[in-house]
Structure 1
């Protein structure tokens, strides 16, 4: 009698290796894409959280709160020239500032000594702006058409592009002008805008309404439109 052969032939091993290689070729890019999209959603969540946090704290404290987004429009500083950095001195993409009571000496839309400043971390692989979207997000003013791809569609009361917004003690967002010092706050209706983020393949936009609510939209390339 002959013993039955055990093990695998060279051909069988080679076939298994080919199958594994094919699966890896399909799965690895898919996994990378999933991670990139997860990072993008996390970054959009940070933007939304910063706006919601500032509004909630303004209402709770009776103070003005200011949110800065370090998109590059303002050169990495607040309107008084203070660098937007975290506790370790690293550039902060988002900063939420307790600007004090209305009419107080430090209520100037700037980072002053003793004021509470909360910064948010950067997310690897995510940049400001839009790489695929061809139109502004829903709820945006027509003026956003010219600037949304840069990352910020906030404007000051005079119509100049900015990267910041203030929340009044009643929670209503307002724009303010960069006068190199104490800010000039706009009226109700001047604080709406959006922050756009991209991972190079997909875009998201977090829109702040003139009443202070937020909504995040994703760009769907297949339909060439923003999701609701």
Structure 2
């Protein structure tokens, strides 16, 4: 490599560094805020997913939420059961499913059986009645383990969101837009937010476990 190449290379690096460090305070604040806002938004969605998954774990009472994750292969396309049928609870131990298209009755019944929810569907040609049997002690313990696994999945998702946000802060530091101290402070603030969302998961997990153990 000749002297001119070295000089040009140094000039290019210096110019690139100066361009990066000349970002305005407003631009840096906007980038920083975007990272924070996106992390919080994703954590909120992670909590919503955990809650939705908890709703599908049945307790001692019948609830339409038990069928939230049921997808029916309707004319070759997987669709959510609630989009093709009305679901109600005539009493505490049963669900009533009324398809908008009666030709889908058998398909819905088969899908519910395959989902292994511990319930018994009955098709009378007009509607499907789902009987929800009482939970045994062993079944309650099994479901509590399922709830714990779903909660841990949510926590893993939140940790990954935190990790990605810190990577984004590190990128700003490499671009000379944030100092090392800035990144440490932002990471500490992000950890506090992460801890709050973790506590939120613990809270809804405890609530779900109490519902499971209620006779």
TM-score when normalising by structure 2: 0.34
TM-score when normalising by structure 1: 0.33
Larger radius of gyration: 2
The structure with more strand, counted as a fraction of residues? 1
